[in-house]
């Protein structure tokens, strides 16, 4: 099993210490697990300039794709991944937000449907759970099948020593994450991701390359025109009904929902 670990903090402090405890726990369950680690502060990705090229003509045209594509490739090649992001004023650090800003097009063109993830965060006081929830919401938009969360109140300044209670929680979450990844079981998506998925496929129903505002979205969604969600993901009947309802509403509204990405 190969797990990608993204350190989305500007340093290796409490949250990274917690992440290493998670890695150690997973190795107890399976000594063959391999961790591939990325440190965003070492990559120095320029800030997203909001040029919209990723939306309009494809992410390969992003002026910073030389930094972003290798990360996307590593996610694709891994069995699952972990995002480790400390709590900065109740939110993710700037370098974490910068990465997700560069990948914002994934909300329009999701993938990684067979991947699972774990969001880890620590705080000296409050809001670590706000960070992990924010990451989880973003990842569900990317198509991630399930995102586990491990927020911890460290009560220290870069000298985190887990309490007995924390160690039990770390072991519990690490075990659940490991067992789920190992099982390769796919879970039915939450209602939330079904809405944009089916709205976008409806908006692109009659797309042709000669449209006034050509977009990569139009090309992408052709593969999903007869699908309420990605292939291989279980969809119970009530969710299929809901997805098709959203799709029909989207088709009715699509003439009024012209996406131009004009500046």
Question: Of 183, 206, 238, which closes a domain?
Answer: 183
Write down the pTM of the prediction: 0.92
Grouping H, G, I as helix, E, B as strand and the rest as coil, residue 121 is strand
| Residue listed under structure tokens 């309490």 | 163
Domain co-membership, 98 together with 214: no
Domain co-membership, 209 together with 144: no
Say how many C-beta atoms besides its own lie within 10 A of residue 69's C-beta: 13
Q: Is the pLDDT assigned to residue 189 strictly greater than 70?
A: yes
| Percent with pLDDT over 70 in the chain | 97
Domain co-membership, 24 together with 149: yes
* pLDDT tens by residue, 237-255: 999 999 999 999 999 887 7
Q: Residue 115 contacts by C-beta under 8 Å, 6 or more apart in sequence?
A: 75, 78, 79, 80, 81, 143, 144, 145
Question: Of 153, 183, 213, which closes a domain?
Answer: 183
The pLDDT of 27-37, averaged and rounded, is 96
Domain co-membership, 168 together with 240: no
Counts of helices then strands in the chain (DSSP H, E): 11, 5
* pLDDT tens by residue, 97-124: 999 999 999 999 999 999 999 999 999 8
Domain co-membership, 137 together with 16: yes
Domain with 249 in it: 191-256
Domain co-membership, 55 together with 117: yes
Residue 263 falls within a domain, yes or no? no
Which token pair is 245? Answer: 């309802």
The pLDDT of 134-144, averaged and rounded, is 96
* pLDDT tens by residue, 63-99: 999 999 999 999 999 999 999 999 999 999 999 999 9
Q: Identify whether the C-beta of residue 36 lies closer than 8 Å to the C-beta of residue 3.
A: yes
Stretch (H or E) spanning 136 = helix 128-142
**Residue-level pLDDT at 18:** 96
Which token pair is 39? Answer: 């440190």
**Residue-level pLDDT at 82:** 98
Domain co-membership, 58 together with 80: yes
Residue 261 falls within a domain, yes or no? no
């Amino acid at each position: 099993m190969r797990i990608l670990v993204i350190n989305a903090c500007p340093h290796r402090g409490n949250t990274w210490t917690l992440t290493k405890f998670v890695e150690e726990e997973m190795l107890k369950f399976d000594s063959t697990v391999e961790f591939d680690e990325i440190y965003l502060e070492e990559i120095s990705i320029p800030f997203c300039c909001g040029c919209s090229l990723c939306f309009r003509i494809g992410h390969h045209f992003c002026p910073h794709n030389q930094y972003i594509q290798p990360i996307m490739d590593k996610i694709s090649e891994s069995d699952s991944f972990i995002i480790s992001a400390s709590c900065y004023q109740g939110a993710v650090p700037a370098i974490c937000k910068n990465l997700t800003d560069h990948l914002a097009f994934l909300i329009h063109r999701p993938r990684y449907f067979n991947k699972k993830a774990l969001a880890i965060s620590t705080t000296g006081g409050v809001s670590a759970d706000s960070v992990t929830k924010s990451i989880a919401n973003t990842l569900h938009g990317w198509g991630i099948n399930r995102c586990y969360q491990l927020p911890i109140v460290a009560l220290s300044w870069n000298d985190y020593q887990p309490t007995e209670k924390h160690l039990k929680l770390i072991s519990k979450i690490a075990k659940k994450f490991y067992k789920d990844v190992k099982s390769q079981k796919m879970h039915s998506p939450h209602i939330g991701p079904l809405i944009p998925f089916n709205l976008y496929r409806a908006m692109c129903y009659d797309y042709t390359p000669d449209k006034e505002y050509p977009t990569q979205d139009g090309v992408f969604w052709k593969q999903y025109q007869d699908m309420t969600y990605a292939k291989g993901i279980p969809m119970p009947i009530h969710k299929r009904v809901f997805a098709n309802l959203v799709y029909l509403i989207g088709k009715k509204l699509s003439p009024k929902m012209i996406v131009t990405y004009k500046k």
